Structure 1
Amino acid sequence: MNDTKNNPAGYSIEEGNAASRNAYNWSKKTFANRSGKPGEPAQDLDGGFSNEIRFGAERLGISSDGIGTKIEVAERLNRYDSLGYDLIAMTADDLIAAGFVPTNLSNIIDVNHLDYDVVDQLMRGLHDAANFAQIAITGGEIAELGNRIGGWPGAKMNFNWCSTAIGVLHPSLAQPLSGKTAQAGHVVVALRSPSFRSNGYSLARKTLTRLFGENWHEAPYDGPDQFANWGEAMLEPSLIYSPGVAALLDTGLPLHGVAHITGGGVADNFKRVLKNGLGAVLDNLFEPLPSMQRLMELGELSPETAYLYWNMGTGMLIVTEEASAAAVVASLRASGYLAQVAGHLTAEPGVTLRVGSAELRYE
């Protein structure tokens, strides 16, 4: 079944990447406004989801993102206290992927109408996630926008939630991590993701609606995980990786690139740190989550489609030297994360994923 050509998620990753590149090109035209002044942006970090801004000797990173359509799952279940982990993970992990230790976050909640209890749950969860990531929440706004904001019709409050985070370049680094110092033969270490994170929900929701109808969140879940229904399976919060990677940077072990696996799947995100014509073979990634495997089976989704839109159990990839790989894995495990060597870099461009009986190739 060739389900990729029919655009099963309802949107185009290629068009999204093209639009992002165009938007960034317009943004770069403003960099000269701060040249030689406080707030001067870096000129050489194209391709990432955060950028460097300089204030004298201080080098800060800045990143913005949101939760996306995972919000609808929370609206369906009337459960909001875990979304803060998703919000912080999206920006904090983009920062640490470039070597910036997250420090502060500002957020904005756009709502159709205000519900005090829902906002209280959201902010309680954000508080807990910020404590986990050691971030201070230092700004925010709630904007009531009426019918400009939509969502699940039965929800107490429809909303969209986005944030901007800043961080400071880790003192062990002379420059942000971008992948430009990576070489063929370097080793790739993977960090396991215990959830869909906040990505790939358009494909997941579209598939679940096709299988179970409009109230798919109430459909019994029959995978090996302990979820009562598909709504619970899809609401599992994102794991925040920034504390573990910051602790890894504290060790002084050599890191040459970090990829945060978000929308666009494993290969598309990892290619962002593959500079100088390098490629990679990833033949020991984590197994896809049981919920992902079950959704693939029920929805008859090919591995090509699933690995294109979902993280498939791998939330971050770290490039290090072969001699340091074991120590990198040990440091991450000591911080409480599941980590393993997943592959290596090659002199030939392109990313090859060997997963189960399939070999997926991305140029």
Structure 2
Amino acid sequence: MAGLTYKDAGVDKEKGYEEVKLIKNLVKKTYSKNVLTDLGGFAGLFQLDLSDIKEPVLISGTDGVGTKIKLAMEMDKHDTVGIDCVAMCVNDIICQGARPLFFLDYIATGELEPAKMKSLVSGVVDGCMDASCALIGGETAEMPGIYGKDDYDLAGFAVGLADKARIITSKDLEVGDVAIAIKSSGLHSNGFSLVRKAMEVAGVSLDDKFDENSSIGEKLLTPTKIYVKEIQNLMGQVNLKAVSNITGGGLYENIPRVLKDDMDCEFVLERDDVDPIFKKIQEWGDISTDEMYSTFNMGLGMVVFVGKEDEAKVLEILGDQGKTVGQVTKGNKEVKIELR
């Protein structure tokens, strides 16, 4: 009788080799001249170009997709959550003025299915290309006993570069500065535990119709918008005093992270501007408006702060994606929201 093998324990090494073959050409699409290694080595090598940087500072961030993954698994649609993974990382580091350089992903699963993993990585590749960064490495871990056969999780790690003098720190933020929001693409990748609970309470299915073009599931899986191009463009033309990524906790949690101790931010928002998906979620769970704004981005994916003199320029650059939504006032790091 032959002894136990790793495959007997639930880990199929051959499928891992097959996955690498399937994703290798996909990943290469993100490479630049700075990438010095190919997929399959022990580490990813990235050569820094510091020719236009006086005092280089590396800025890093890590995040995952959260329970939005559950919807992807239930719908058997895996090609968009990779975009979410990249977005949740790079959208954080650009708040400090970083230019994303490279990205690494980590996928853990109960049973490795190469085709599914290829679909996941294809989303990561799409996100990296949108963020203008290279996917230089990653890890797929087959973990039977920890994850169910069809379960997986996805996390990522982004590294960016900034010149120390151009790091966005809020040091120049003043009372009277304006807050300009850049639209979100939907929920992004936050609050899905509440979304799923609200759907359960209301008896709503992912297959139910949302509008003429999509089901509720498709609407909820809309990938997180990546704001790298917008922030880099603004940095080149105006003085961005502060940038806040509106992730979990909404405006109430994320705006104070960039305010000084003696400042508030007062928002005046239009009810009609809110994406209908947020209204549906609120209706499904009979959720209070305060809870909605404390959990979701409510259509405001990123908020930038500039002096009044730069307001018109920022709005011109952003076009229909930007809108003035608030102003910095004296206070103690509170967020006040007026809905009209």
Shorter-normalised TM-score: what interval? 0.7 to 0.9
* Other-structure match for 1:269: 254
- In structure 1, the partner of 2:324 is 341
Q: Does 1:185 align with 2:162?
A: no
CA distance in 1, matches of 2:306, 2:126: 31
Partners of 1:225 and 1:309 in 2: CA distance: 27
Report the Cα offset of residue 327 of structure 1: 0.5
- 1:184 counterpart SS class: coil
Residue aligned with 1:267, SS = helix
1:207 maps to 2:193: no
Do the aligned partners of 2:243 and 2:304 also contact (CA within 8 Å) in 1? yes
Q: Is the 8 A contact 1:279 1:346 kept in 2?
A: yes
Query: Which residue does the alignment assign to 1:3?
Result: none
Correspondent of 2:295 among 289, 309, 334: 309
Distance of aligned partners of 1:115 and 1:313 in 2 relative to their CA distance in 1, 3 Å threshold: same
The secondary structure found in structure 2 opposite 1:217 is coil
Structure 2 unaligned spans of 5+: 1-52
SS in 2 for 1:283: strand
Q: Percent identity?
A: 28
Task: Give the drift of 1:298.
Answer: 2.9
Output one character per residue of 1:225-277: Cα deviation in whole Å (capped at 9) or x when no partner.
6322x2122111111011110111122x1111100000111121011001132
- Asked whether 1:88 is paired with 2:86, we answer yes
Q: CA deviation at 1:107?
A: 0.9
Provide the C-alpha distance between the structure 2 equivalents of 1:315 and 1:149, rounded to a whole number of angstroms.
32
Distance in 1 (alpha carbons) for counterparts of 2:129 and 2:108: 24
Aligned to 1:249: 235
Contact kept? 2:84, 2:188, Cα under 8 Å: yes
**Equivalents in 2 of 1:231, 1:63: separation in Å?**
28
How far, CA to CA, are the matches of 1:298 and 1:160 in structure 2?
27
Alignment equivalent of 1:58, drawn from 56, 60, 63: 56
Show the counterpart of 1:72.
Answer: 70
Q: Does 1:221 align with 2:220?
A: no
CA distance in 1, matches of 2:169, 2:152: 34
Kept in 2, the 8 Å contact 1:83–1:237? The answer is yes
Letter paired with 1:188? A
The counterpart of 1:329, out of the listed 311, 315, 327, is: 315
SS at match of 2:255: helix
Task: Tell me the TM-score normalised to structure 1 length.
Answer: 0.75
Mean Cα deviation higher: 82-91 or 347-356: 347-356
**2:197 and 2:285 in contact (8 A); partners too:** no
- The CA RMSD over aligned residues, in Å, is 2.0
AA in 2 matched with 1:79:
K
Name which of 119, 122, 133 aligns with 2:120: 122
Unaligned 5+ runs, structure 1: 1-54, 151-155, 357-363
Aligned residues between the structures: 287
Q: C-alpha distance in 2, partners of 1:295/1:108? A: 30
Instruction: Answer with 1 or 2: which has the greater Rg.
Output: 2
- Provide the TM-score with structure 2 as the length reference: 0.80
